Amino acid sequence: MNPEGVGRIFAPLAAFAEGPFPEHYEPIESPVANPLHPQQSNNPVVKKVKTDADKYGTAKDYQVVCTTYRLTEHYHYWTKNNPMNVQLVPEPFVEIPAEMANEMGLRGGEKVKVSSARGEYIAKAMVTRRIKPMLIDGKKTYQIGIPIHWGYRGIAEDAGKTSKTPVNMLSPTAIDPNAYTPEFKGFLVKVERA
């Protein structure tokens, strides 16, 4: 509370690029428009890297939400060079909901191709019940998950057991204008048999 009897956000004047207050925006690639502001779904001042590789997908072309994550057995990228960790999780996989796998006629261990507007990634499917379909704006929407630990160089890559393409090649290069964090953790893809 301030002496004049009102509250105020305690931050430098230039703290919020889209200010004066924090606002909710959907990611650059989202299956739905922002329910609060459908006319401006994405952050109008998001920082987009502008190269030939930086393209953005739409829900019309890519219907599946993809998230990337770390595994408990791994610490960022360096543990893929530790033989014990490589033995625990020897190769990349794409975690796919059981309901989605059933619709595709897909079984665990079969290879899938995950495509975004920027590239494609091929790995074995890990069919799971951990991820459930979401009902977003009245439409069933699937989400998949891909660990980030493979690509470029490592024990498995050098042995030719996995792709040398990192999963972050699928994700968009869009950066939050306030925190400067990239949107690597949620984007749109399509999934098909490899």
Domains of the chain, with CATH numbers? Answer: 47-193 (2.40.40.20)
Q: Kindly indicate the confidence band of residue 161, based on its pLDDT and cuts at 50, 70 and 90.
A: low
Q: Strand, coil or helix: what is 97? A: strand
The mean pLDDT of 98-118, rounded to a whole number, is 96
Q: Strand, coil or helix: what is 170? A: coil
Q: Kindly indicate the confidence band of residue 3, based on its pLDDT and cuts at 50, 70 and 90.
A: confident
pLDDT at 158: 74
Q: Strands (DSSP E) along the chain, which ranges?
A: 47-48, 64-69, 93-97, 111-115, 120-128, 134-136, 139-141, 143-147, 174-175, 187-193
Establish whether the linkage from the previous residue to 172 is cis, with ω within 30° of 0: no
The pLDDT tens digits for 50-81 are 888 889 999 999 999 999 988 877 776 667 77
Mean pLDDT of the chain: 84
Spatial distance between the Cα atoms of 119 and 173, rounded to a whole number of angstroms: 13
